[in-house]
Structure 1
C-alpha cells in the first residue's frame, strides 16, 4: 500500500512525461556527444583544387550530422509537436494535482520539482525552439566582435545572433539538451526522495502505534490482574 500523501496517480503523471523527455534527449545524445565532449581523431590531409594539402576539421562531419538531424526534426509533421506539448501539459497537470492543498512534504519536494520542471520548459522555449528555427533557416551569424566590445554587451543589446556562428549555435543546442536532461533527472531524484521520506514516516508512525497499543494492552492486563487479587 502506498504511503499516505504520495498521490500515486499524480506522481505517475509527473514521472511519465519526465521519462518520456529523457528518452527523447537520449536519442539526441549521439549527435551531441562529439560536438560537446570529444574531439575525434584528425582526418588525413586532403588535396585542394590547387594541389595543396588541407587539414579538415574532424568535427565538421559531426556538426553536419547534427545540423541535418535538427532540420529533419524541425520539419516533422505538426502532430509531433502537438504530442510533445500534450506531454508537457500532462506533467504540469500532475504537479497541480499534487500541490492542491499541499502538505509540508509536498511544498518541499513537489515545489522544488516544479521549479526544475519549469526551468526545463524555459530552456526548451528560449534555446531549443529558437535554435531549431535558426538551424532550419541557416540564419547563423559569425561576424567578428568590434574592438572593445564583448559578447555580454551584444546579449544585452539583443543582437548576439549576428556574432554567434554555426558551430557555436549547434554547441548551444547540444548544451541545452544536456541541461534539460540534468534538470529532468533532478525531478526524478526529488520524487524518489519524497516517496522514501513518506515511506519512512509511515513506518515510524506504524511502529509508534504498535508500541502504544502494546503498552495499553500491558496496562490493561496489569489492571485486570490487580482487580482479581483484590477480590480474593
Structure 2
C-alpha cells in the first residue's frame, strides 16, 4: 500500500522517464566504455574487419576503432527522424509534469525530496542541452573545436605546426560526450535514490503513526474497562 500523503501516479510519471533515459544511456555505454574508461590492448579482428571503411588510415592506436564506432553511432543518432527527438522531448516533459503534480501542495517531505529531485532533473536537462545536443551537432558537422577541419589536413598536423587555433580535437570532443553521458546517468540515479528515500521515509512515518494509534486505542480500552469494573464494585 502507498504511504499516506504520497502521490503514486505522479511518482510513476517521474520514475518512468528517468528509467527510460537510463536505458538509453545504458545502450550508449558500450560505445563510451573503451573511449573513456579503459584502454583496449588490441582491436578484436572481427570488429576491425567491420570497420575497414570507417577508418580512413591505418593507425596503431587501439582506441581508434572505438572512436570511429562512437562517432558513426552519434552521427546516426543525430540523423534519426524528427519523431525520435519529439518522443524524447515528450518523455522529458512527462517527468516535469510529475514533479509539478507532486509539488502542487507540497508537504515538508515533498519540499525536501521532490525539490532536490527536481533540481537534479533540471541539471540533467542542462547537461543534455549544453553538452550532448551541442556535441551531436559538432560530430555531425565534423567541426571539432568550433571549426571544420580542412580536407587533407589533420588536428595532429596543426598542433605540430603550432597553428591549431581553437581546435579541441576529435578524440577530446568524443570523450566529453562520453563523460556527459556518465554525468547524466549519475544525476538520474540520484533522482531515483531520492524518490526511494521519500517512499521509505513516508512509509516509516505511516507505520509509526499506526503504532501510536493502536497504543492510544489500547489505553482508551483499558480506561473503559477500568471504569466499568469500578461501576460494578459500587453496585
TM-score scaled by length of structure 1: 0.86
Match for residue 190 of structure 2 among 186, 202, 218: 186
Match of 2:113 in 1: 109
**Cα deviation digits, residues 60-112 of structure 1 (max 9, x gap):** 00000000000000000000000000000000000000001100000000000
Superposed counterparts of 1:70-219, under 5 Å: 70-141=74-145, 142=155, 144=159, 162-219=166-223
1:162 deviates by 2.3
Match of 1:10 in 2: 10
Show structure 1 runs of 5+ residues with no match.
Answer: 44-53, 148-160
Q: In structure 2, how many angstroms separate the alpha carbons of the residues matched to 1:225 and 1:98?
A: 51
Q: In structure 2, how many angstroms separate the alpha carbons of the residues matched to 1:184 and 1:194?
A: 16
1:221 pairs with 2:212 = no
Q: In structure 2, how many angstroms separate the alpha carbons of the residues matched to 1:162 and 1:60?
A: 22
Match of 1:30 in 2: 30
Match of 1:57 in 2: 61
1:163 deviates by 2.9
**Cα deviation digits, residues 39-78 of structure 1 (max 9, x gap):** 01146xxxxxxxxxx8610000000000000000000000
C-alpha spacing 1:55/1:138, structure 2 compared with 1 (3 Å): closer
Q: In structure 1, how many angstroms separate the alpha carbons of the residues matched to 2:113 and 2:87?
A: 27
Give the aligned length. 209
**Cα deviation digits, residues 211-231 of structure 1 (max 9, x gap):** 000000000100111011011
**Cα deviation digits, residues 89-143 of structure 1 (max 9, x gap):** 0000000000011000000000000000000000000000000000000001356
Q: In structure 1, how many angstroms separate the alpha carbons of the residues matched to 2:5 and 2:30?
A: 40
